[in-house]
Amino acid sequence: MNPSTMHRKPTNTFQATKIIPAKHPLVCGVFGCTLLTICLQIGCKNEELAREEQAAQQAAEKAVAEAGKENLQAQKAGVGVGSKGRSLEGGSENNPATLISGPAAALFRTKEKIAFEIQIPQAMNLYMAEKGRAPRNHDEFMRDIIEFNRIPLPKLPEGMLYRYLPDKAELWVIPEKDLGNQNP
């Protein structure tokens, strides 16, 4: 480069404008202090809020895990019996982690709802229309309803099993320890 061209004025019509500080130092000081105070207050509140939200999220996860261990009762198979997505639920709506985990938890609930409230009833209706009766036992239900229609059942928490109850013509989730006593 030629040294004489390095200090040329810009050739475009737009010229850079200088930022002129306030002429009175008191105005600059008050404005700067106010801006600094606002930034510090917002920053501190967000950090405290984040800590509270994180503690609430951890408490919710712990409660869900403990509830899953303690809640080993027989119940009709439905939305919420699966193990996937349990740790994603709970927490505050304003927690950034909930913004990410919320859609994932909704996905797992939706998959369970489709299986238990749409696919299984539809397959049962078709089976009953064809055979004129409900499945007679658990093995027949699993073979002719679940496997034949390729219905993906959600994975259950440890210690729980699916069990078809022929007297009710319903799929239930029961604890393994109650396997001998199938009527809840």
| Residue matched to tokens 């993906």 | 152
Q: Please give the Cα distance from 112 to 119 (Å, whole number).
A: 10
| Main-chain dihedrals φ then ψ at residue 94, nearest 5 degrees | -85, -5
> Is 161 or 23 the better-scoring residue by pLDDT?
161
- Report the pLDDT value the prediction gives residue 23, as an integer from 0 to 100: 55
Confidence of residue 184 (pLDDT cuts 50, 70, 90): very low
Confidence of residue 16 (pLDDT cuts 50, 70, 90): low
- Report the pLDDT value the prediction gives residue 148, as an integer from 0 to 100: 95
- Report the pLDDT value the prediction gives residue 7, as an integer from 0 to 100: 57
pLDDT of 8 above 60: no
| Residue matched to tokens 């030629």 | 2
Name the packing angle between helices 96-114 and 25-70 (round to 10°): 30
Q: Closest Cα partner for 96 from 60, 51, 65, 59?
A: 51
| Residue matched to tokens 């390095």 | 6
